Structure 1
Amino acid sequence: MSLVSDLKIAVICSSNMNRSMEAHAFLAKKGFDVKSYGTGDKVKIPGSSFDKPNIYDFGTSYEDIYTDLLQKDKSLYTQNGLLHTLERNKRIKTHPEKFQETNVKFDILITCEERVYDAVLEFMENKPPLDNSIVHVINIDIQDNLEEATIGAFLISDLCIMMAKADDLDNEIEEILHNFEEKNQRSILHSIVFN
């Protein structure tokens, strides 16, 4: 099902590697105008042990990260799904992007965990206003693993379809979010900020 919507949507996680990219892929396939970002200081992905993550700067290409992991331990990163994840990411865009560095205007910002939601709110409230248009910031908690990222992408897609069907999103959003929470048994956070 392709859905034509003029909503400009951003999906945001910490590193713009897993959760936001999975949702980005889903929404793009459905015809949404979507971009994805991270809010962390660096792009952090699992390493050879819990206390040794792989850390990259935002802007490092997915291709370069892929090559680096391939050289470090092809077997490990094939097994844990990271190489597959990077292959998907390369098909969507060239590199992870940091939300705080964009000046693109959105109608809806969807975050994948509460600390990302807090970082987005802080950034939006402190940046100079563009035109004072309403932006809905919505958080759906999604664990940062491959399986949960897929489930999260379905949930985000479902919510975006519900919002795209609204005649007047600003007036219907509370009801839409309430219906979404009841249907999916997931609690979400919602704030309104201004562009």
Structure 2
Amino acid sequence: MANNDIDMNNLRIAIICSSNMNRSMEAHAFLAKKGFYVKSYGTGDKVKLPGSAADKPNIYDFGVSYDEIYNDLISKDKTLYTQNGLLHTLDRNRRIKTKPEKFQECTEKFDILITCEERVYDQVLEYMENKTPSDNSIVHVINIDIQDNLEEATIGAFLISDMCTMMAKSDDLDNDIDEVLHSFEEKCERPILHSIVFN
């Protein structure tokens, strides 16, 4: 367990990328191990994974299980998808949850929505601003750009974990968040975007 003065569970966190496959799942796994309350989602129309060529991606619907995708890729080319890390990624994912989930279909409420690229950040903001608020509680939407590859996803998970730990230490996050994010931005040397929306 982390420091006694930090309550990891007082923040409800969602990590969001495009396909809920690599970046959001790596951070989900990392934060869950640290004791955070965390879920993960994608905002894309479909779940898109690299295929045998750049113009031949593997495309699945949200809701198709990680198991099904894993078995489909094995049947297509086990060697290729072992070498490029996709089977390893899917194996990790299915230990965390059953299937990729689409953020726009989620009904759960969160305090913090962390996106992994600016396009996803824009999609989350658009969705949150167009839905009818239920209780007008504040939601912080934060973006940190993470390239969609395995190495960057691992680095991104460390950075997101650091940021969430800094936020969890705050007694009044709504008041302190600009200061927290400014400190984090200086530390990680990546630009951070932040908006406030309402549940």
Using structure 1 for the length normalisation, give the TM-score: 0.99
Partner in structure 1 of residue 73 of structure 2: 69
Partner amino acid, structure 1, of 2:63:
G
Q: Distance in 2 between matches of 1:65 and 1:123?
A: 27
Q: Which residue of 2 aligns with 1:46?
A: 50
Write out per-residue CA displacement over residues 42-61 of structure 1, whole angstroms, 9 at most, x where no aligned residue: 00000000110000000000
Q: Give the drift of 1:130.
A: 1.1
Letter in 1 for 2:128: M
The residue matched to 1:37 in structure 2 has which SS? Answer: strand
Q: Does 1:4 align with 2:7?
A: yes
Q: Report the number of matched residues.
A: 195
RMSD after superposition: 0.7
Structure 1: which amino acid aligns with 2:7? V
In the TM superposition, residue 37 of structure 1 has moved relative to its aligned partner by 0.1
Q: Are 2:136 and 1:132 equivalent residues in the alignment? A: yes
* CA distance in structure 2 between the aligned counterparts of 1:62 and 1:122, rounded to whole angstroms: 28
Matched position secondary structure for 1:115: helix
Unaligned runs of 5+ in 1: none
Partner of 1:190: 194
The aligned residue for residue 182 of structure 2 is 178
Q: So what's the TM-score if we normalise by structure 2?
A: 0.97
Percent sequence identity is 81
C-alpha displacement at 1:75, in angstroms? 0.3
- The structure 1 segments of at least 4 consecutive aligned residues displaced by more than 4 Å after TM superposition are none
Deviations for 1:116-138, whole angstroms, at most 9, x for unmatched residues? Answer: 00000000000111100000000
Matches of 1:51 and 1:189, distance apart in 2: 31
Query: 1:155 aligns to what SS in structure 2?
Result: helix
2: distance between equivalents of 1:4 and 1:65?
A: 36
Deviation at 1:4, TM superposition (A): 3.3
1:78 to 82, 90, 93: 82
Tell me how far apart the structure 2 counterparts of residues 185 and 146 of structure 1 sit (CA, whole Å).
Answer: 20
Q: Deviation digits for residues 73-98 of structure 1, max 9, x if unmatched? A: 00000000000000000000000000
- 1:28-71 CA-to-partner distances (Å, cap 9, x unmatched) read 00000100000000000000001100000000000000000000
